[in-house]
Structure 1
Amino acid sequence: MKKRPALHPLAASLLLIGSGLSHAQTAAPPDAAASAPRAAKPSDKDSNDRTKLDTVIVTASKREEAAHKLPINIESMSEQKLREENITDLKSLIAASPGIDAPGNSARFTDSVTVRGLNISSVSANNVEWFTRSTLSYYLDDTPLPDIGLRIKDVARVETLLGPQGTLYGGGALGGTVRYITNRPKLDRTHARLSTSIYQTRGGGISNDTDGVVNLPLGDALALRFSFARLDEKGVTDRYACTPTYLSASPWKAKPDASQCLYKDDDWQKTNTGRLALLWQASPDLSFQLSYANQSQLAHGSSGAQLLPATGNPGRYNAPLAFDDQTVLSPYPEYTDRKIDLTTLEIDWRLPGARLHSATSGYSDSRVGQGDYLGTGSFFYGDLGYSRFRLGSGSWAGNTAYMTYNNQYRGTVHETRLVSDPGIWSWVAGLYLAEQKRSQQFSEWMPGLEPLKTPGRGRTDEGYSETQSSHYRESALFGELNWKALDRLTLTAGARVFAYKDRADTQVEDYAFDLVTGNIQNNEKGNGKSYYKFNAAYQLTNDLLTYATFSQGFRRGGANGFRAQGGQTVAPETRRYLPDSTDNLEVGFKGFLLDRTVYLQADVYRLNWKDPQTYFSQDVNGFPVWGTTNGPKAYSQGFEMQARWRVVPDLELNAATTYSEAKWDGTKTVCLYAANTECRTYEKGGKLGGTAPWKHTLGVRWSGGTDNGLDWWVALNARRIANKASDRGDSPDETVFSYPAYNTLSLRGGLSWGNWDLSGWVNNLTDTRPLVSFQGTSAVAQRVGLRAIYLTPRTVGLSASYRFH
């Protein structure tokens, strides 16, 4: 494992701050810091008026502003709402979001996340991480991360922004951004909270989720905040490890215990999360915060159900169950062991007329695991030459394959941002520096293979290994300028100018057949790349805004491991894949109506997608080498609407609906070799998968209280998800298997009295089990059957929380 990069931007930050420290000591007291987030709350004038809806405060624009006065599609969930809806991780947050999609897979997998229909990869469970292509970016406070696997604990709120955001966030965003805004240490009081939940999913054991936080002032200018969480989640899916009757011609030994066939409730997980933050208020205008976050997660097994072997589309997806709807077939145990570390130094400095915020972070994210390879291993090692490894073969030797993976991310990120005070002219200007080293490696193993290999090649019984690594560096200047042209009209122009270098290295080692072996290197760079934003916002009333936006987004490119064979050279444009970008055109309105008893937010958009990255593969004597290429231009268009209505002081209704349509908007033929052979054509009109065209939610919340301080609430929520294509279609006539439409209900309720908060919930109230994802390939379907993944069964839980003062 390579040494972690030094935080080289840190010294520059300290020198910048130190040069003006003496001036900071005498500056005027600061306004509320945009970088010091606080929980969403009602405005002062409405805080005691239960007949009106609350005003939500966010920092998406780098200032504390009311969400309904920001001309972007933004949704904010406060800490209280997150706890009410039991949202503790990104998967549950995405499930609750109307504009974002991801397959409902086990905790063991990393998902392809689709924003506003921007997806051209298969939406199914997969062990190999580079098959997933997220169009969503993730932030913990001001730090962009490769993937937010951190659980949502001790956060002030989560802000979800749809559309490219590169002129406000140094790391940029192709389709949208999710920001976790953590709670900061408080100087003025000592307090703590301890919370615990118990819950049970039908067919599984009793799970527990416990978390706590302690805030300690250490003096007038120093405070410490510590939070922790422990999740012990029991499984609901059984693993059958022995040979089933329909494969009795190829008996194998179960792992790890040959005498045990059934492993009950095998898809469990245990996760420990901790965060420590130290705040030093050096002066009224200058503060330093040092924080460290850590999470270790062991996610075991796979949810789903085994289907019988079948071929064809949709035949392999509609095959009968091999056992029942909560049992998978896997001779080998499956697991993912993930560890995340993040260290951040933040500096806030109040200057005359502006505020400077500096954040420097170092992070590491590792994902190590093992997956079963029964069907695919039989195809690769049995069909390609060794009949002793082919299921059903007369020379079957009783050995099955498994795979391992080891994915590592390490990097440093620095962002210095200067935000002006509000006025006729206001602005945001920033500097962004980032460096990331990535290594994604997986290997295939077939016990008994070693005597059949070329001597001295690979590790014992290792049949194949592939490593994709890269060293990426980026520097950017970004910002926005706002002009209040009229009393009600504000015009905004933004830009992001950046340079990047990406050195990619792909190493492929085929130890079994020596068919695909070698190293491919690629260097990409861009200087002076620019993306822009233009916005016009008109305040129809003090509480109602309309806006029009043009914004652009960007995602980095990379290299492939394709290689020359049979005298044919790989085409230069296929050796690598280019960065892709989006142009977002959006018109919307948002705000309060009917004396602030109704809130509406609606928009229509069209995203034009240039050089979209999509999967591509090379066939080497029946052996696939996977990669990525750039397809023709594509588009996604649709509308989004959210509404809240305070019917009476204690009753609130909420609803949301989204529609999206995404297709290829051009025709392009991509050829693997320079001689224009091994080509694939993407045709205009082919539909992009991964997003349900329609999503609807409807909820009602009834609350009240008594004179002795007892407050209570009850909420019922319904969701409707339309049919969703499981993959892209490469022509208008291609039919892709679609996951069926479904409805779900959830019921929640709680009460508060003194320092106690108690609540209960039922997810999937009607216990519906729609199909939501798959795991497996065509080869797997033919030999052992796919794994069908269904919506989690009915889950019932209780929570209790106590606040210490």
Structure 2
Amino acid sequence: MAFSASYKISAIRAALLGSCACACAASPVLAQEEPSGQNVIVVTATKRATTVQDVPFSINAQTQEDLQKSGAVTLEDVSRNVAGLSVQNLGPGQSQVSVRGVSAGQVVRDQPGVKEQVGVYFDESVISLSLFTPDLDLFDLNRVETLRGPQGTLFGSGSVGGTIRYITNQPKIGQTEGTVEANMNLVDGDDIGYHLKGAVNVPLGDKAAARVVGYFTEYGGFVDAIGPAGGKNINGGQRYGGRIAVSFEPTPDFTITPRVVYQKIDVDGFNRQEIYNLYANPYTTTRPAVTFDERQQYLLLREGFTDETWIADLVMRLDLGSVEATSVTSYTNREILVSRDASALTGSVSVDLGYPDSGVLLPSNLRDTTDLESFTQELRFASDYDSPFQWVIGGFYSKTDRFYRQRLPTPGYAAVTDAVLGAGTSAAVANGFTNLDSPYNADLPYDIKQIAIFGEGTYELTDAFAVTLGARYYDFEEERSFVSGGLFANGDNRTDKTSSSGISPRLLLSYDVSPGLTLNAQASKGFRLGGVNDPLNIPLCSTADAALFGGFQDYDDESLWNYEVGGKAQGNGYYFNAAAFYNDIKNLQVTLDAGSCSSRIVFNVDKAHSMGVEAEFGITPTDGFDLTFAGSLIEAEFDTTLPGSLTTATGIREGNRLPSVPKFQFSVSGSYEWPVSDGADAYLAASFQHVGTRYTQPSDQELNPRVFTHGLPFGGQPAGATTTVDLQLPSYELLNLSAGVDFDGGLSVIAYINNVFDENTLLSFDRERGGRARLGYSIGQPRTFGMTVRKSF
């Protein structure tokens, strides 16, 4: 028979108490045996402790053991075993995430106003930030929860497609334990990477404990560059940081957990593979003609990416008897620098302006900086008693100050400009910016505030049938100033304000057919806050592009209604979870290039949808032998056609696919473990991943294969020089292999090969000024050999 609410709550409590873990920021993954003999995983996806089987919607939980056995060190690695989760890796700290095909296209460095579509949480603290969600190290994580479908009720804006939660191991009172891990790897056969990581839990008397984590990673590079700033493996880098959490339990009913997290990523270049560059291409006659090899690019200047992140949060829990109160206070400070070689972009404009070759060849450095301070406060109350009715209510407040700056220092540019366009030109267009050698400058301070009230209640009408109702009210305000100056700028000086409010509801139904089978259905709404576009860089635009794209200024909130049915089954030696869903999207915020303007805009598409099926299952045919599968089949398309020439220019045509999402992707993994001695077990593991075709932007589906006309009179290029590119990104397959030995006493040794067949995965298409400056791809990591040694105590 099905289990009552009283039994389920008792089972979860027993698991929590039996762990000897404090009630801190997030409950760890715990096994609790039910009468069926099956172990279940306790998660906090509903902001209350419950089991994966009892969460009444589609969820995946990758445990610490799963992460270690798969060798996952990034969210992209995790996604290989999660149905419906797609990650577009644009380099360390620059990943874009989509769930269930809900995607608006490639977000790039100079779109600071774009809001994320998948919310990312680090325990209780929200850390999502469009393209620059912190790429936090996965060491000493307890689990990664992927909540599919809109989670606007409990997790708010930015969770329109779903929510990802990194759940860390929390301080454990009365226990001393720790782990150290060392790794060395060889990337692309010639560059060495490595990491060293450690975690320790120490008691601080009878009522407190601390958990300290530290790590250092050296990334091996795999992209070579030609040109004056060329070199081998130019996209290597480092990631280092750590976190300190302390839990105090002055009374059994009260827990305080302050924590500080620090991380810095410093990368020397980008995973870009070029096929055309203004300075290096097959068409030049007065310069050496160049045909690029795989994993190769051209540089006049070295590039880099730096992201320094501080997170300080405080979680307090108070047991009031029948109610548990939780306060979560979080502060984030981030400094991001994206430094790119923009010489080809600047040089292409210089050619249009008739500058001499000496001016076209001036090294030009595009520097985008983001300074972010964010404060959030959540206070919630949850029922804590045996009853058919369980509930959670709370309030949320956030304030974000974000200052985005863009500079284009090009030493010597002012002198060339004044010589060609007239003395004093550079000073006349500066608009108060002092570096006249920077033809583009912009300051964009943002002030964003949001308040929300949310609640959700579940009532068990019978022992088997439960109904959940929830809603979130939100009120959002954004104020943004825009000041620009320089030859490539409009000389803007303006302030824009946007605001919105609304209610995001959810209805969930759950029916326990048997102890091992649960059926779910839901209707839920998610939302994504709107914003303001930057003005087009009119001096760089063609007349046609300025007229076509100049009318897009504000964009409204995006909303999504999700309808789904699913089931979760488990029994002796197997589990099977599946769901079918339909997402009705209104005012989808689509991102695209504004032609030749070197600008990117966001605008609303009236109607779109995504629908599909997803499934995950695992079997254990014999002791030690495990097989798992995760896959999704998704149709994500526009239901609107824009009028006139906008159709071809934007790709917004009924039936066209939403960008960056494969129709079909799946992964299969297997492992076999056996004893090799009285004190050691060995295992072999393999995983295979298939990712289907995708498009980077909606417009890539129009006039494809696309003919890019260069025709710039530089380097002896003929006027009719063109490059033809199939903009449908090809599907790819990755095979990873690993073998290891686990010894008694906590020692493990693992050897692995990732991307066994050295697939050159094309992740997104990169273009500058509509192909007049540069064409290329962002690419994935090549074949990598590695060994990891881990010791727990």
Identify the TM-score tier after normalising by the shorter chain.
0.7 to 0.9
What SS class does the counterpart of residue 445 from structure 1 fall into? coil
Matched, 1:327 2:296: yes
Shift of the 340–731 alpha-carbon distance from structure 1 to 2, 3 Å rule, reads: closer
Q: Which residue of 1 aligns with 2:443?
A: 467
What SS class does the counterpart of residue 40 from structure 2 fall into? coil
What SS class does the counterpart of residue 102 from structure 1 fall into? strand
Q: Which residue of 1 aligns with 2:662?
A: 692
CA drift at 1:33: 7.8
Which amino acid letter does the alignment assign opposite residue 32 of structure 2? S
What SS class does the counterpart of residue 423 from structure 1 fall into? coil
Q: Which residue of 2 aligns with 1:266?
A: 234
Mapped contact 1:574–1:671 kept (Cα < 8 A): no
What SS class does the counterpart of residue 346 from structure 1 fall into? strand
Mapped contact 1:650–1:702 kept (Cα < 8 A): yes
Kindly provide the CA deviation profile for residues 160-191 of structure 1, in whole angstroms up to 9, marking residues without a partner as x.
Answer: 11111122225561111110111111111222
Taking the aligned partners of 1:117 and 1:722, their CA distance within structure 2 comes to: 12
Matched, 1:420 2:383: yes
CA drift at 1:204: 3.0
Matched, 1:587 2:565: yes
Q: Which residue of 2 aligns with 1:577?
A: 555
CA drift at 1:268: 0.8
Which amino acid letter does the alignment assign opposite residue 243 of structure 2? R
Kindly provide the CA deviation profile for residues 24-68 of structure 1, in whole angstroms up to 9, marking residues without a partner as x.
Answer: xxxx9999887553443432369xx9xx86422211122222212
CA drift at 1:644: 0.4
Q: Which residue of 1 aligns with 2:693?
A: 723
Taking the aligned partners of 2:652 and 2:203, their CA distance within structure 1 comes to: 61
What TM-score do the two structures reach when normalised by structure 1? Answer: 0.84
Which amino acid letter does the alignment assign opposite residue 307 of structure 1? I
Matched, 1:798 2:780: no
Shift of the 438–233 alpha-carbon distance from structure 1 to 2, 3 Å rule, reads: same
Mapped contact 2:318–2:324 kept (Cα < 8 A): yes
Q: Which residue of 2 aligns with 1:305?
A: 273
Which amino acid letter does the alignment assign opposite residue 523 of structure 2? F
Q: 1:531 aligns with which of 494, 504, 520?
A: 504
Taking the aligned partners of 1:306 and 1:624, their CA distance within structure 2 comes to: 18
Which amino acid letter does the alignment assign opposite residue 506 of structure 2? K
CA drift at 1:773: 2.7
Shift of the 352–702 alpha-carbon distance from structure 1 to 2, 3 Å rule, reads: same
Q: 1:196 aligns with which of 178, 182, 192?
A: 182
Shift of the 133–287 alpha-carbon distance from structure 1 to 2, 3 Å rule, reads: closer
Mapped contact 2:343–2:362 kept (Cα < 8 A): no
CA drift at 1:264: 1.9
Q: Which residue of 1 aligns with 2:735?
A: 745
Which amino acid letter does the alignment assign opposite residue 335 of structure 2? S
Matched, 1:88 2:63: no
Which amino acid letter does the alignment assign opposite residue 581 of structure 1? S
CA drift at 1:662: 1.3
1:367-382 mapped onto 2 (5 Å cutoff): 367-382=336-351
Matched, 1:429 2:393: yes
Taking the aligned partners of 1:345 and 1:582, their CA distance within structure 2 comes to: 32
Range that drifts further, 753-762 or 29-38:
29-38
Which amino acid letter does the alignment assign opposite residue 425 of structure 1? F
What SS class does the counterpart of residue 95 from structure 2 fall into? coil
Q: Which residue of 1 aligns with 2:250?
A: 282
Q: 2:757 aligns with which of 750, 766, 780?
A: 766
CA drift at 1:397: 6.1
Mapped contact 1:687–1:729 kept (Cα < 8 A): no
Kindly provide the CA deviation profile for residues 103-130 of structure 1, in whole angstroms up to 9, marking residues without a partner as x.
Answer: 34322x623322211122237xx44354
Matched, 1:596 2:572: yes
Which amino acid letter does the alignment assign opposite residue 697 of structure 1? S
Kindly provide the CA deviation profile for residues 629-659 of structure 1, in whole angstroms up to 9, marking residues without a partner as x.
Answer: 2122111111101110111122111112201
CA drift at 1:792: 1.8
Range that drifts further, 189-198 or 114-123:
114-123
Taking the aligned partners of 2:273 and 2:702, their CA distance within structure 1 comes to: 32
Q: Which residue of 1 aligns with 2:142?
A: 156
What SS class does the counterpart of residue 691 from structure 1 fall into? coil
State percent identity of aligned pairs. 22
1:542-557 mapped onto 2 (5 Å cutoff): 542-557=515-530
What SS class does the counterpart of residue 69 from structure 1 fall into? coil
Matched, 1:78 2:63: yes
1:438-517 mapped onto 2 (5 Å cutoff): 438-451=402-415, 452=418, 453-455=425-427, 457=430, 458=433, 459-509=435-485, 511-512=486-487, 516-517=490-491
1:699-710 mapped onto 2 (5 Å cutoff): 699-705=669-675, 708-710=678-680
Shift of the 368–756 alpha-carbon distance from structure 1 to 2, 3 Å rule, reads: same
Which amino acid letter does the alignment assign opposite residue 434 of structure 1? S
CA drift at 1:533: 0.1
Mapped contact 1:113–1:133 kept (Cα < 8 A): no
Mapped contact 2:729–2:764 kept (Cα < 8 A): yes
Q: Which residue of 2 aligns with 1:120?
A: 104
Mapped contact 2:75–2:87 kept (Cα < 8 A): no
Taking the aligned partners of 2:272 and 2:649, their CA distance within structure 1 comes to: 36
Q: Which residue of 2 aligns with 1:348?
A: 317
What SS class does the counterpart of residue 322 from structure 1 fall into? coil
**Where do 5+ consecutive residues of structure 2 fail to align?**
1-16, 284-288, 419-424, 706-725
Mapped contact 2:201–2:211 kept (Cα < 8 A): yes
Taking the aligned partners of 1:181 and 1:630, their CA distance within structure 2 comes to: 34
Taking the aligned partners of 2:667 and 2:547, their CA distance within structure 1 comes to: 52
Q: RMSD of the TM alignment (CA)?
A: 3.2
What SS class does the counterpart of residue 633 from structure 1 fall into? strand
Taking the aligned partners of 1:133 and 1:379, their CA distance within structure 2 comes to: 31
Taking the aligned partners of 2:639 and 2:548, their CA distance within structure 1 comes to: 27
What TM-score do the two structures reach when normalised by structure 2? Answer: 0.85
Mapped contact 1:437–1:469 kept (Cα < 8 A): yes
Which amino acid letter does the alignment assign opposite residue 728 of structure 1? P
Mapped contact 1:150–1:340 kept (Cα < 8 A): no
What SS class does the counterpart of residue 310 from structure 2 fall into? strand
Shift of the 265–74 alpha-carbon distance from structure 1 to 2, 3 Å rule, reads: same
Kindly provide the CA deviation profile for residues 639-698 of structure 1, in whole angstroms up to 9, marking residues without a partner as x.
Answer: 1011101111221111122011111112345999xxxxx997933223212111000211
Aligned length: 725
Q: Which residue of 2 aligns with 1:637?
A: 611
Mapped contact 1:121–1:132 kept (Cα < 8 A): no
Which amino acid letter does the alignment assign opposite residue 470 of structure 2? G
What SS class does the counterpart of residue 53 from structure 2 fall into? helix
Mapped contact 1:74–1:160 kept (Cα < 8 A): yes
Taking the aligned partners of 2:616 and 2:390, their CA distance within structure 1 comes to: 29
Shift of the 274–679 alpha-carbon distance from structure 1 to 2, 3 Å rule, reads: closer
Kindly provide the CA deviation profile for residues 364-392 of structure 1, in whole angstroms up to 9, marking residues without a partner as x.
Answer: 12211310113211222321x2422xxxx
Shift of the 668–307 alpha-carbon distance from structure 1 to 2, 3 Å rule, reads: closer
Mapped contact 2:157–2:527 kept (Cα < 8 A): no
CA drift at 1:402: 2.3
Taking the aligned partners of 2:272 and 2:599, their CA distance within structure 1 comes to: 27
Taking the aligned partners of 1:154 and 1:564, their CA distance within structure 2 comes to: 46
Mapped contact 2:254–2:316 kept (Cα < 8 A): yes
Taking the aligned partners of 2:381 and 2:76, their CA distance within structure 1 comes to: 33
Q: Which residue of 2 aligns with 1:8?
A: none
1:126-275 mapped onto 2 (5 Å cutoff): 126-130=108-112, 134-145=116-127, 146=129, 147-170=133-156, 173-242=159-228, 254=229, 262-275=230-243
Taking the aligned partners of 2:769 and 2:392, their CA distance within structure 1 comes to: 51
Shift of the 172–729 alpha-carbon distance from structure 1 to 2, 3 Å rule, reads: closer
CA drift at 1:576: 1.3
Q: Which residue of 2 aligns with 1:42?
A: 31
**Where do 5+ consecutive residues of structure 1 fail to align?**
1-27, 243-253, 255-261, 673-677
Shift of the 590–461 alpha-carbon distance from structure 1 to 2, 3 Å rule, reads: same
CA drift at 1:475: 0.9
